[in-house]
Amino acid sequence: MQLYEKIGKPRIQQVIERLYDRLFEDPLLGHFFFQRDKATLIARQLEFTLRLLGDMESLYRGKPIPVAHGPLGIRAVHMARRQKVLEAVLAECGVEVEDAKAWLERENQLRHLIIKNPGTCLS
Instruction: Give 26's DSSP letter.
Output: -
Look at residue 116 in the predicted model and tell me its pLDDT.
Answer: 74
Binned at pLDDT 50, 70 and 90, residue 122 comes out as very low
The phi, psi pair for 75, rounded to 5°, reads: -110, 170
The Cβ-side half-sphere exposure at 75, using a 13 Å CA radius, reads 7
Percent above pLDDT 70 for the chain: 94
Give residue 118's pLDDT.
53
Q: Which domains does the chain have, with CATH numbers?
A: 3-114 (1.10.490.10)
Q: What is the pLDDT of residues 21-43, one digit of tens each?
A: 999 999 999 999 999 999 999 99
Residue-wise pLDDT for 56-101, tens only, equals 999 999 999 999 998 999 999 999 999 999 999 999 999 999 999 9
- The per-residue pLDDT of the chain, averaged, comes to 93
